[in-house]
Structure 1
Amino acid sequence: MKTLKRKGLLILMAALLTFTLAACGGANENNGKTTNTETKTNNTNTPTNDNASTATEEVVPEEGASLLVWEESTDFEYLESVAADFKTKYNVDVKFEHVAAPDQADRLANDAPAGLAADVVMFAHDKLGNAVEAGLLFPNDVLEEQTKASHPEASISASSYGGTLYGYPKSVETYAVFYNKALVKDLPKTWDDVIAFSKSFTDNSAKKYGIMWEARLLFFNYPFFANKGGYIWGKDNTDPTDIGLNNEGSIEGAKYLQSLAEILPLKAENITWDVKTQLFTEGKVAFNIDGPWAISSFKDKVDFGVIPLPDQPDGSKSISLSGVRSYYVNSYTKYPNAAKLFASFLTNKENALKGFQMTGMLPSNKDAAADPLITNDPILSGFIQQFANSVPMPSIPQTNNVWTPMEGAITKIWNNKTQDVKAALDEAVKTIQESLASTAAK
């Protein structure tokens, strides 16, 4: 998916400790903790979180520390400005290397053990599970309480794994409804309103459509499942033994989704991001469900606004899936204190607002997100409102087994109005279960 631009979080600090580094070649033996006791020996590279109580103690950079940070090149001007302030405050040099966010977790797995990875990395939370399982990340321990106080629960949950906080949340994103102001006079509140508008506006022969979204993808269709009681995994999306994508709620929601093909009479596989983006900019789509990553594609091309997703037929607020991008500290870094400080420094209120002004990314930091600079923004406020009614995408590694089978099931359901919805969902869940069993057997 495309992504929008950037933000941050700050963390206050308290009293001084010393830190002992392990020898080169592996993760630090005390797992990057700032403590006033001797370093504990740990024979694995899996970080632990035994001393989270040190969050009230001041973190200081290691003597001679310097940092490498992976980020996307579109953010470099902002990052270099923050790095200059960090240098002034802590006397630590920070350099940046362009690595696309979707590639960072995989590259970390390959480069970290060899000592070639950045000290601080940044990726979306759905990559977190694999990175933690591989022992590649330090917990956010000494700054944990301050981090939790500075961010919404959704961001903290998304940046945690197995009950342990690892991330320093940077930005949040979910999808909402872009609307063309030249085509829409009365903003819809419910899906019934959207349906009524679309029936009078849509003209397939002229390639005009009331609303478009990538109808084959579970990601964008999640509200139809979740609002009826469907879910991906049990126990707040952490239990892969409990799949809720073919329960009664999911079946009911998928039947409603099937009915919406009437107002968007195209094959699901033909409703791609490129197609709907072009049609929206050409004034042939009135409502377009997409994320903040699409803003740059529409600016200067169409006069648009953004509103939250329409309410479901039962009056409930549509529950979208959301993503949280966070900074993480490489467990193989030579400078865990400096790395933790910089991840925290990047994401404080001041730097979050600076990031918003320079890049446009929605900040996770609560104080920054509540600033009038953002809340009064007519575009971003729509995403903020929808984020409040979202749940983080599951971060457990097994989630990778879900998307393709569900895309196949939803495509069948959408393209064929006589398709047995339960049969399609049962088949997808069976495929997911078989995939999980096959992976576990290896």
Structure 2
Amino acid sequence: MHSIKSRIIAIFIIALIVAGGVAVALSGMQIRTPEPEDAEESTASYAIGKDTINIWYTDEALTDYLNYVAVNYSSVNEDVRVVPTLVSGRDYMEGISEASMTDEGLPDLYITTNDMLEKAHLAGLAETITPPGSVDITSLFPQTAIDSVTYKGNLTAYPMFMECSAMCINYTYLEQWARNTLEAEIRAQMAEEAKEQETQESSDKSNTSSTPKTEEEKAQAEKEAEQKAAEEAEKISAMVSDEEVEAYATERLPVSIDSLLTLSDDFDAPENVDTIFKWAVTDIFYNYFFIGDSIDIGGDTGDDIDKIDIYNLDAIMGLTTYQKLNQFFSISTDDVSYGGVIEDFENGRIVMTIVTTDAVRTLADAAAEGTVDFEYRFLPLPDISETAQGRSMSVTDVVVVNGYSSQKEAANDFAYYLCTSDPAALYEWAGKVSPLKGANLGSRNAELQVFINEYDESVPLPKMLETSNYWVNLEMLFASVWDGADANKGLKSLSEQMKLQTTGKRINEETIEIPVEEEEEDEIIVEESSEESGE
């Protein structure tokens, strides 16, 4: 089971690296996929007499890529060498601060998650960036990335790579069901026509006498009926084209919670399928889309203490919708985890799930090994209602220029290069997805575009220290609501707690009355009318 605390720490530690592509694309140069030996080149040969830029990170998966970029950068900027240093994720920011205060091996740059920028700024560990050549990075990255690195109106870091969620569906199962459904419709129509013909023939035969069939004639009749049924099945199958199947399957892809439930209700799953839809219901990262479009924590840039909107009707309805899915799919919180869900999907035991970008590589590797033998597709998260879209939570990992660095200009230059030079290599080597606009992300570019689009509409982690425990409390609220707690009361309590933390004042939210749904109102009216009429 993932907790939001462990998840954010995991992302924080997993989160450090580079993105890019525009600089190379604009120059017309070809992007070269790096080879491992490039990253292993020793920095000793070019270290003498050069200025040193130290960059700290916590994710070992970034090591080869960072070394590769460092070597490439120094080959162009011969008076600078870059030294990437892998450090522990424990007390990471405190370690940066201590090194900066003592000036002993302080990092000129470091990689962290966007929610740490207020803490970094207040400690003097981050300042407004100055891209080389007065480059406008707001034109290079989507607004979500820009919001993620903006603090109090200033750009305080460079966006590197992101994480968010999307849906994944076993498309082979969907197409099989689509074909069976279309064939069943034809079969039903043919059966109706045959019944009418049989009725007519029976009417005609009623006027004539018939001789009872012998056992041999009955056996022959059964054989002919079986042969006719096989021919009919083959004929019906031929009547349904692959294009019709594709069109029907595409039409039934879930775009909202309602359409997802309708599909789940109609879907005739294969015997080995345990459930139609299953996801890590205890992890806020995969649940947040239920309320992401309805809740505001700190405004667009997540740093405005006056913008706290947690308790509202759309948020209540979104959380209630989440609760209703437990009644439909009956997912136990005791034995569900993201890793377990991915394994179930690989083994064909579930049809749909919610995943993060790691699933792109995981499923591709499984397909290459033959353990995944079906077609799958990544889809946008479903909308919650007509007034609330499904919006994922996102984490953006960023490169920060240390405010205590004595080489800020050189650090800015490398940070920009790091985030815009080679997004394809970033993904191929480290499995990290650059948010750079128009970036070619390599061999999995088409699949990753679904996540890029979700990221563009996502909600970045807020930066305010006063709300640092918000995610833990929100995850606890989701867990309790999943098990039957009142969503209205839970959100009201959470809102009051967050406003107390941000304003220092105890605020009593006015309870929101949930409107009775129209169908329920109609039922009430019918019942009242029946009583009044004495029925």
User: Which TM-score applies when normalising by structure 1?
Assistant: 0.76
Aligned match for 2:451, one of 373, 377, 383: 383
Cα separation, 2, equivalents of 1:254 and 1:330: 40
Q: Structure 2, unaligned stretches of length 5 or more?
A: 1-6, 24-48, 176-248, 506-535
SS at match of 1:252: helix
Give 2:532's aligned residue. none
Is it true that 1:97 corresponds to 2:169 in the alignment? no
RMSD of Structure 2 on Structure 1 (CA): 3.2
Q: Is the 8 A contact 1:225 1:245 kept in 2?
A: no
Amino-acid identity (%): 21
Aligned match for 2:95, one of 92, 104, 107: 107
The 5 Å alignment of 1:30-429 reads: 64-71=50-57, 72-91=59-78, 92-99=80-87, 104-115=92-103, 116-143=105-132, 145-185=135-175, 186=249, 187-199=253-265, 208-227=274-293, 229-234=294-299, 237-268=302-333, 270-298=335-363, 299-300=365-366, 301-302=371-372, 303=374, 304-314=376-386, 317-348=389-420, 350-368=421-439, 371=440, 373=442, 377-416=445-484, 419-429=485-495
Residues 71-106 of structure 1 deviation map (CA, whole Å, 9 limit, x = unaligned): 332222222222122112212111222236786434
Q: Is the 8 A contact 1:7 1:364 kept in 2?
A: no
CA distance change for structure 1 residues 97 and 224 in 2, over 3 Å: closer, same or farther? same
Residues 115-170 of structure 1 deviation map (CA, whole Å, 9 limit, x = unaligned): 34322111111111111111111320254643222212211110111111111111
Cα separation, 2, equivalents of 1:10 and 1:407: 36
Cα separation, 2, equivalents of 1:424 and 1:122: 35
Cα separation, 2, equivalents of 1:235 and 1:170: 19
Q: CA deviation at 1:5?
A: 8.7
Cα separation, 2, equivalents of 1:200 and 1:329: 54
Q: Is the 8 A contact 1:269 1:411 kept in 2?
A: no
Q: Is the 8 A contact 1:177 1:289 kept in 2?
A: yes
What letter is aligned with 1:122? I
What letter is aligned with 1:125? N
Give 2:185's aligned residue. none
CA distance change for structure 1 residues 97 and 354 in 2, over 3 Å: closer, same or farther? same
Q: CA deviation at 1:214?
A: 2.9
Q: Is the 8 A contact 1:305 1:378 kept in 2?
A: no
Cα separation, 1, equivalents of 2:109 and 2:280: 33
Cα separation, 1, equivalents of 2:472 and 2:81: 43
CA distance change for structure 1 residues 353 and 234 in 2, over 3 Å: closer, same or farther? closer
Residues 13-47 of structure 1 deviation map (CA, whole Å, 9 limit, x = unaligned): xxxxxxxxxxxxxxxxxxxxxxxxxxxxxxxxxxx
Q: Is the 8 A contact 1:169 1:327 kept in 2?
A: yes
Structure that is richer in helix per residue: 2
What letter is aligned with 1:132? H
What letter is aligned with 2:437? K
What letter is aligned with 2:162? V
Residues 203-246 of structure 1 deviation map (CA, whole Å, 9 limit, x = unaligned): 9x98822222332444433332243x332345764333443222
